[in-house]
Structures are given as C-alpha cells and as structure tokens.
C-alpha cells in the first residue's frame, strides 16, 4: 500500500485469502457462492467476531452481485446502512430507504425566472426566496439540486431532492461506467453558468432525475444563467426525455426498506455508520471468461463461457476487527482461536537460579505438549513491567513463576479475559490450562 494507515487494518503490505469458482451455469455458480458464504460465516463465528453481511456494489470487479462481511467500527473505511430490528444491511453504495417522495401539486404554476444574486446552495436559495414578499416560506422539498457529471466524455445532468446527495456508485451502476463531476470551466461551457445556477430547463444533454422527485411540479432550480433561478418548473411539462432512477445516499433515521419483515414491512429506522470490511464475495458471471476466452464444451460439443465467482478475506483485517471488539484498558484480550500464543510464561526475577530452572522446565514441558508459549525470560525487567506487557499482549493464559510460589511447588495462573488468578501445582499445570482452553 502506498499510504499505510489505520494500524493493522491497512499496512504497507497485507495478506489476502483468495478463492475462485468455475462452473458450467448460473445455478451451479449459485451453489458455489452459497458454499463460500457459509464457509466465511463459519470462519468468522469461530473467530468470535460480531459481524453482519451487507449487499454491496460489485465495482470494478463487475458481475451480477456481491456481499460484504462487515464489522461496525469508527476506524472503518466503508459506510453501511443497518436496521437493528430486522437485520437489513447494505453498503451505502447500494442501500435504499423509505423516504417521503415529493407529491405532485394539483395545479402547475407558470414558469418564472428570478434574480438570485450570490445564491449558490439550496439553503441559501430557500432563505433568499422566503424573504421575498412574492413567495411564502420555501423549503428544500420545493427545490431540485443540479449536478453535472461527465460520462464517456458527455455531460449528464443529475437532479436531486433538496439537499439529498448523489450516490456516485449508484450513478455509475446505472450508466455503466465511471463518472466524474464536471469541472468549473466545463460547467460554464456546457450550461452557460457556474455551479449553483444550473438547472434542467433548456439543458440540451441527458438528464437523470432521482425517484424522490419523479414527475414533480412547482419546483425551483437554476436557470443556466449566473445569479438566476427558475420557479414553477414542471418536469412533465418543461423538460423533455427525463430518466428516473434511485440515485440518493441513504441517511441515518430514514425508514428501513425491508418489505419482507412482516406483512407491512419493517417500520424501524436505519442507522448509517462506518465499518471494516472483513471479506467480500462476488458473482462474476462470464465477464472475465468471455474476455479471456475461457470456454468449456457441453455434452453436445458446444462452447460456453465458464461462470465464475470470486471470494476473499483480508487476514489482517480479521485480527483488526477482533481487537476492536476484544480489549480493555490494559490491552488486547485474545481468544485461543486467534491468539498468536496460547500462553505467556512470565519468569519473575530470572536472575535467581530456582526461578530460571523452573521456568525453563515449565516452558519445555508445555511446548513439548503442543502448547504455543511466549516466554518472557527477560532478566533486566521488574515484575510490574512484565505484568503490564503480558496484559497488553493479551494471550489467553498467563503462567507466572516466582520464588515464593515455587517454595510450595506452585505457579500462579491468570486468565486474561476475566482477570481470575489462582495457584496451581506445577505437576497439574498442563491439565488446568487444557481444561480452560478447551472448555
């Protein structure tokens, strides 16, 4: 990675678990996809990670669909919409919500050009118009926000409800290819106006309108002339060849769109938050096999493209997400499934021959029995620092060897997760550790 950041989430290099499936048709590919989905859930369950699965945009990978395994985190690089009540989850790239659409008025007003000096935003337009005697109080529901994008070298005007934002992933998915916002000099050349004064009336290129303002009338928008807006716009009367689709970014507090949650659907609200992506599974279809000529012969000797799937887990991200959910003020709390070591062995005052001999013997016996042991045999560090470091590293079990306990042929065991401490006969140490780790 050129810009490493976020600790173990995104480092200068990272390890991926990748898999691909190759099938003869979509039905068989669906089976492969479901097997990987089940396997990933089992992996994350075993790792004791609280995760959820979201519908996602396939992006540059392409294909007919994909899902992401996500963990809620303030350090996340993705944003998801989630309903706690019914479990609906989706990356905001594809998420939808239940929001009130603009209702069409019974009577359409006449179109009128209004001088609006230095008005650039929807809020400024509402404030400016509400101060004029000719208008009652205006709010964002009466305004259509205009944004110009460039797709395949051609301009496209996007119209949104009020202060709703354009979801560029949805736009790219609808148009089929990448888009970019128009630059200031391009806007002036295309529309004759700067951003903030652009609108649909008289626009000579493709126009796409968000579903929330479908067939709306009596709308305000830019006049394609600096410092001017137009009132009374009727999309059915004043603008030709409009296209409608869902293009908005979902926001926290909007209604859950899940219609399968009971007869009336889910009536709860969505929460939008950042999350870490653990894994991603894709239905690639025939995008790559057709491009690369990866074909197979059926029973009749006819060629067909192989139907593909792609599946990946970010290994370090599994660790990062686990840490996000399993720590305290003293450090990490590892479960045995992911712990780098089963046990941290602490030899206190290793300069004493009794402690050194006993610690080394315990280390040999535990490792010989198959345990993975991190041995703190430092001779120049006081006990307090060893305790602090052991809690910071967070191995599931700590075995503490000191001269006082050794006089009774015992060692102290500490369980990192609970903080429980107890003395164990050295001869019974292995059994007690196995009992905890396998319990």
Average pLDDT, the chain: 91
The residues, any chain, with a CB within 8 Å of residue 389's CB and separated by 6 or more, are: 376
* 353-368 vs 429-437: helix crossing angle, rounded to 10: 50
Domains and CATH numbers, the chain: 16-95+252-325 (3.30.930.10), 112-245 (3.90.960.10), 343-437 (3.40.50.800)
| Across 339-351, average pLDDT | 95
Spatial separation of the C-alpha atoms in residues 19 and 36, rounded to whole Å = 9
Q: Can you tell me whether residue 27 is helix, strand or coil?
A: helix
Q: What is the pTM of this model?
A: 0.73
Q: Are strands 144-151 and 154-161 parallel, antiparallel or unpaired?
A: antiparallel
Q: Please report the pLDDT score of residue 57 as a whole number.
A: 66
Q: Please report the pLDDT score of residue 134 as a whole number.
A: 65
Q: Please report the pLDDT score of residue 267 as a whole number.
A: 86
Q: Please report the pLDDT score of residue 77 as a whole number.
A: 84
Each residue's pLDDT tens digit, 64-97: 678 999 999 888 888 999 998 888 888 898 899 9
Phi and psi, residue 189, nearest 5°: -70, -40
Spatial separation of the C-alpha atoms in residues 111 and 116, rounded to whole Å = 15
**What is Dmax (Cα atoms) for the chain?**
98
Are residues 290 and 269 in contact, defined by beta-carbon separation less than 8 angstroms? no
Residue showing tokens 């301009």: 155
Are residues 81 and 92 in contact, defined by beta-carbon separation less than 8 angstroms? yes
For the chain, percent of residues with pLDDT exceeding 90: 81
Long-range contacts of 115-120 (CB under 8 A, 24+ apart): 115/227, 115/228, 116/197, 116/227, 116/228, 116/229, 117/227, 118/227, 119/196, 119/227, 119/229, 120/195, 120/196, 120/197
Spatial separation of the C-alpha atoms in residues 271 and 80, rounded to whole Å = 8
The residues, any chain, with a CB within 8 Å of residue 245's CB and separated by 6 or more, are: 170, 174, 208, 210, 211
Each residue's pLDDT tens digit, 209-254: 999 999 999 999 999 999 999 999 999 999 989 999 999 999 999 9
Residue whose C-alpha is closest to residue 39's, from 55, 19, 65, 16: 19
The residues, any chain, with a CB within 8 Å of residue 49's CB and separated by 6 or more, are: 71, 278, 318, 321, 322, 325
Spatial separation of the C-alpha atoms in residues 246 and 171, rounded to whole Å = 9
Are residues 155 and 189 in contact, defined by beta-carbon separation less than 8 angstroms? no
């Amino acid at each position: 990675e050129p810009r490493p950041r976020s600790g173990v989430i995104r480092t200068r290099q990272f390890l991926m678990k990748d898999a691909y499936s190759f099938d003869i048709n979509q039905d068989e590919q669906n089976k492969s996809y479901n097997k990987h989905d089940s396997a990933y859930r089992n992996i994350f369950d075993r790792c004791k990670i609280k995760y959820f699965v979201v519908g996602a945009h396939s992006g540059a990978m392409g294909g007919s669909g994909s899902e992401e395994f996500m963990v809620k985190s303030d350090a996340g690089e993705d944003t998801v919409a989630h309903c706690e009540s019914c479990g609906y989850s989706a990356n905001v790239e594809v998420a939808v919500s239940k929001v009130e659409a603009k209702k069409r008025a019974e009577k359409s007003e006449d179109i009128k050009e209004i001088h609006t000096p230095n008005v650039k935003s929807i809020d400024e337009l509402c404030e400016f118009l509400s101060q004029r005697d000719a208008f009652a109080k205006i709010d964002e529901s009466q305004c259509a926000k205009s944004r110009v994008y460039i797709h395949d070298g051609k301009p496209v005007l996007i119209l949104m409800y009020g202060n709703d934002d354009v979801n560029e992933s949805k736009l790219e998915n609808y148009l089929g290819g990448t888009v970019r916002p128009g630059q200031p000099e391009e806007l002036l050349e295309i529309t004759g106006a700067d951003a903030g004064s652009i609108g649909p009336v008289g626009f000579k290129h493709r126009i796409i309108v968000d579903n929330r303002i479908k067939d709306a009338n009596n709308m305000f928008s830019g006049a394609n002339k600096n410092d001017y807006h137009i009132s009374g716009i009727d999309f059915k009367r004043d603008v030709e060849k409009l296209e409608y689709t869902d293009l908005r970014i979902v926001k926290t507090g909007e209604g859950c769109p899940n219609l399968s949650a009971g007869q009336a659907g889910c009536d709860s609200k969505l929460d939008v938050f950042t999350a870490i992506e653990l894994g991603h599974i894709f239905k690639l279809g025939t995008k790559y096999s057709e491009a690369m000529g990866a074909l197979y012969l059926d029973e009749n000797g006819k060629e067909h493209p192989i139907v593909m799937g792609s599946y990946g887990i970010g290994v370090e991200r599994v660790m990062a997400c686990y840490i996000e959910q399993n720590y305290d003020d003293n450090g990490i709390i590892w479960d045995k499934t992911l712990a780098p070591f089963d046990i941290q062995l602490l030899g206190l005052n290793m300069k004493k021959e009794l402690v050194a001999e006993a610690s080394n013997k315990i280390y040999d016996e535990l490792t010989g029995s198959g345990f993975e042991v991190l041995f703190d045999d430092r001779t120049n560090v006081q006990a307090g620092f060893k305790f602090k470091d052991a809690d910071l590293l967070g191995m599931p079990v700590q075995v503490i060897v000191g001269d006082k306990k050794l006089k009774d042929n015992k060692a102290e065991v500490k369980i990192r997760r609970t903080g429980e401490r107890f003395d164990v006969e050295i001869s019974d140490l292995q059994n007690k550790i196995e009992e905890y780790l396998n319990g």
